[in-house]
Amino acid sequence: QQAGLFADRLTKESSDDSDQVRLAWNLCFQRDPTETELQESKKFIEHSGLTQFTRVMLNTNEFVFIP
């Protein structure tokens, strides 16, 4: 459910894929994605959709654990 709500927020705040990816990275990790992370994220979204991307973001080790 949270992944769906997160995807909805990204869609409401930007219609551009690159901007959505940057916003997601900033909200989850407090940093911009590297160029490689940006491109791979966009490819993932094209293949699997924005909700699946947000689900992955919320389940990453970087999101779950605070250093």
- Tell me the per-residue pLDDT of 3-32, one tens digit each, with 9 for 90 and over: 999 999 999 999 999 999 999 999 999 999
Contact predicate 66/32, CB 8 Å = no
What is the pTM assigned to this prediction?
A: 0.87
Q: What is the pLDDT of residue 67?
A: 56
Distance, CA of 66 to CA of 64 (rounded, Å): 7
Q: What is the pLDDT of residue 60?
A: 84
- Tell me the per-residue pLDDT of 30-55, one tens digit each, with 9 for 90 and over: 999 999 999 999 999 999 999 999 99
